[in-house]
A and B are shown apart, each in its own frame.
Chain A
Amino acid sequence: MTSPAAPATGRRSRPRFDPFGGLVERWLRGHTLLIYLFLYVPIIIVVVFSFNATDRRVTQWAGFSFKWYESVLRDTVVQSALLNSFIVATSTAVLATLFGTMAALGLQRAPKWFRTPFEALTFISIIVPEIVIALATLVFFSSTFDILNPLLDWQLKLGHQTIIVAHALFNISLVMLLVRARLSGMDRTHVEASYDLYGTPWRTFWQITFPQLLPAIVAGFLLSFTFSFDDYVITTFVSGAGSTTLPLYVFSTIRKGVTPATNAVAAIMLMITLGILVVGQFLIWRNARRSGQRGAGMASIVAEQSR
């Protein structure tokens, strides 16, 4: 038996004796499995118990039923929270996708004196803890409103607009990063060919550049939508009366404890965001197949970002 540290001299050591090899492999496998269980069991429990017919204890199974979904969806408070969430998330996603894509395209030609501080601000907007952005935005809105409201005929106040504008900050940066990553990996020969063939910049953009950027733009739109739809911290700071979103509603009901009704709302939120992920994956996959590109799924676009 050779000790692990001793160099195996004189012979090829490929099939060297490794008493822990199998153990290490099994441990790696087991650990991975455990982590996946850790990630999924809590979510599955919420979804399962949202179908529980019980009227009393949440965890006491009393048969399968949709009754909590019905009761929750008939609740006008939930309805208006759901509507608010959709309004906020859609507007945020539209703004962020438009401005983020524009910025990514503009940055390509921006001079260095502009690009460096701009990139620093992008980094700051993503890395600063959400709570700091949230309170700073609240302080900003309230001091601006104090100055502007006496001068205006109408009153500026916290509501949908402030939530959308605040959510857009982070999501503009996010879309910009996704589109820039795609731009840098883009094949420039088509663009040059188009120019050589006297294509106008406008036409070149729409026929060559835009289709290649589309997966990143779609991913950016759907990501901004979900981030805005799910956001709690910023929303709670800059929302006003009548602009309660679904996460705010869920947070306020959690304080009363776990109920099957809250489980149902939570499951609805999970299904909405998962539905968006599936739609995005499908769109990108179809686009990749049609244009014959290597299939870059939604997940890989997201995972690649966190380098």
Chain B
Amino acid sequence: MTSPSVAASPIAVRPARSIRTGLLTGLLLLPASLWYLILLVTPLAIVVVMSFGNASRLGGYEPAFTFTNYASALDPTRITPFITSLILAATGTVLCLFAALPIAYFIATRAGSRKSLLIVLLVIPFWTSFLIRTYAWLTLLGPDGIAGFIGGITGDSGFRILGTPVAVLIGVVYGYLPLMVFPIYVTLERMDRTLVEASKDLGAGRWATFRQITLPITLPGLITGSILVFIPLMGEYVVPAILGYGRVFLIGNQLVLQFLEARNWPEGAARAVILILIMLVSVVFYLWFANRGRKTREVSVL
């Protein structure tokens, strides 16, 4: 075994040791590899195989090779959850972006000695239970909270927020906001502040400096954050189930219904595969964009 990290130590050079080192490396990696093989690769492979199969009458799976599950998952009359999820995930990501950028900018450039305190304050809600944080909005958005208040002003006593897409959007922005702030903060924190000074010295205004210096440099962070928010949002189940009362029906709700209640597994499997494909497309897009971003940044620094 001659990997660069061990080459420096005299131990690795001795051949008697190197067999033992190889064995040790294998042993160290064995449990995690087993986990990946048995609980990640195999289950996903089974789902893919199942998505081409038939549902048996008893709610089980019958081996077959058919595309009917995909056809029915993408059937125009039943595709609504996909469309709703896409729209909601995109809107939620954009809202997170607009909420996160100023706060990340503030912490990175204006907070001074309170920087680490502000970061801790962002981590704490993120650290606590997602379910409880979602639940927390039930009182606030309910008829005794904001909805009742707005209803009282407009004179519409039937005004409701819970059970509408707005409630779900508030819930997801609340849940995923820290995931957007952290990467943006990290890129802003590492940014060379003298570039901004230079831009101002050369007479550029605030907006021009932001658009031509800060934004391009922050772009990789923005994209990372968007991916971190968009992907889990596509598969979100807890927020639409609690704050949407199940009336805002996303892919996540549909998958739970099909796997835990209706038990039509092959059709559910097809939907899951489509969800994975959407995810893969966004990751590939992300990698392409991130690399492109890196190139333009290098050019702009030069």
Q: Do A and B bind each other?
A: yes
A304 within 8 A of partner (CB) = yes
A293 within 8 A of partner (CB) = no
Report how far A42 CA is from B130 CA in the complex, Å: 12
Contact assessment for B131 and A230 in the assembled complex, using a CB-CB cutoff below 8 Å? yes
Give chain B residues whose Cβ lies under 8 Å from the Cβ of A108. 3, 5-6
Of the residues A41, A132, A303, contact of B182 by C-beta under 8 Å: A303
Report how far A129 CA is from B200 CA in the complex, Å: 43
B116 within 8 A of partner (CB) = yes
**Interface size (B, Cβ < 8 Å)?**
102
Contact assessment for B119 and A299 in the assembled complex, using a CB-CB cutoff below 8 Å? yes
Give chain A residues whose Cβ lies under 8 Å from the Cβ of B272. 132, 135-136
A191 within 8 A of partner (CB) = yes
A254-B139 contact given A57-B144, A103-B32, A108-B3, CB 8 Å threshold:
no
Give chain B residues whose Cβ lies under 8 Å from the Cβ of A201. 11
> Which of B210-268 touch A at CB < 8 Å?
224, 228, 231-232, 234-238, 242, 252, 255-256, 259-260, 265, 268
Give chain A residues whose Cβ lies under 8 Å from the Cβ of B236. 129
Give chain B residues whose Cβ lies under 8 Å from the Cβ of A91. none
Contact assessment for A273 and B276 in the assembled complex, using a CB-CB cutoff below 8 Å? no
Give chain A residues whose Cβ lies under 8 Å from the Cβ of B31. 98-99, 102-103, 172
Contact assessment for B43 and A139 in the assembled complex, using a CB-CB cutoff below 8 Å? yes
What's the nearest-Cβ distance from chain A to residue B151, in Å?
A: 15
Report how far A164 CA is from B207 CA in the complex, Å: 51
Give chain A residues whose Cβ lies under 8 Å from the Cβ of B139. 42, 45-46, 49, 58-59, 258
What's the nearest-Cβ distance from chain B to residue A283, in Å?
A: 15
What's the nearest-Cβ distance from chain A to residue B155, in Å?
A: 21
A240 within 8 A of partner (CB) = no
Of the residues A14, A125, A262, contact of B201 by C-beta under 8 Å: A14
Contact assessment for A127 and B116 in the assembled complex, using a CB-CB cutoff below 8 Å? no
A7-B203 contact given A131-B235, A250-B135, CB 8 Å threshold:
yes
Contact assessment for A274 and B39 in the assembled complex, using a CB-CB cutoff below 8 Å? no
Report how far A136 CA is from B232 CA in the complex, Å: 16
Main secondary structure of the interface of A (DSSP, over half): helix
A302-B103 contact given A136-B43, A262-B135, CB 8 Å threshold:
no
Which of A24-32, A66-74, A75-83 contacts its partner?
A24-32
A302-B127 contact given A45-B136, A195-B10, CB 8 Å threshold:
yes
B47 within 8 A of partner (CB) = yes
B289 within 8 A of partner (CB) = no
A114 within 8 A of partner (CB) = yes
A63 within 8 A of partner (CB) = no
Report how far A262 CA is from B136 CA in the complex, Å: 10
Of the residues A42, A100, A125, A226, contact of B133 by C-beta under 8 Å: A42
Beyond A137-B43, A232-B130, list 13 extra A-B contacts (CB 8 Å). Answer: A6-B203, A29-B106, A32-B106, A32-B107, A103-B32, A131-B255, A136-B43, A136-B47, A139-B46, A168-B35, A230-B128, A237-B260, A298-B123
- Chain A residues engaging chain B, CB cutoff 8 angstroms: 4-9, 12-14, 16, 18, 20-21, 24-25, 27-29, 31-32, 35-36, 38-43, 45-46, 49, 57-59, 98-100, 102-103, 105-111, 114, 118, 121-122, 124-125, 127-133, 135-140, 143, 165-166, 168-169, 172, 176, 188, 191-192, 195-196, 201, 226, 229-230, 232-233, 236-237, 247, 250-251, 254, 258, 262, 266, 269-270, 273-274, 277, 297-300, 302-304, 306-307
